[in-house]
């Protein structure tokens, strides 16, 4: 995921959910869940 796409996703979620809705924390959880296989392989190396 490019940084531009990530920033756009953050801005969209903040606009939808409002400031202070833990957008960053929820997005981080979503990314960890979506890419858990990649993360675990990276940690194993």
Give the span between the Cα atoms of 21 and 19, in whole angstroms: 6
Position 1 scores a pLDDT of 60
Q: Cα separations (Å) of 40 from 26, 29, 33, 43?
A: 20, 15, 11, 5
Give the span between the Cα atoms of 40 and 42, in whole angstroms: 5
For the record, the structure tokens of 3 come out as: 């940084």
Give the span between the Cα atoms of 19 and 4, in whole angstroms: 20
Helix (H, G, I), strand (E, B) or coil at 27: helix
Position 17 scores a pLDDT of 85
Length of the chain: 45
pLDDT tens digit sequence for 1-45: 688 988 898 888 889 888 778 888 888 898 889 888 876 666 555
């Amino acid at each position: 995921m490019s940084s531009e796409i990530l920033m756009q996703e953050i801005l969209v979620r903040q606009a939808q959910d409002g400031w202070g809705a833990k957008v960053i924390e929820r997005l981080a959880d979503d990314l960890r869940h979506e890419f858990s296989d990649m993360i675990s392989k990276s940690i194993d190396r």
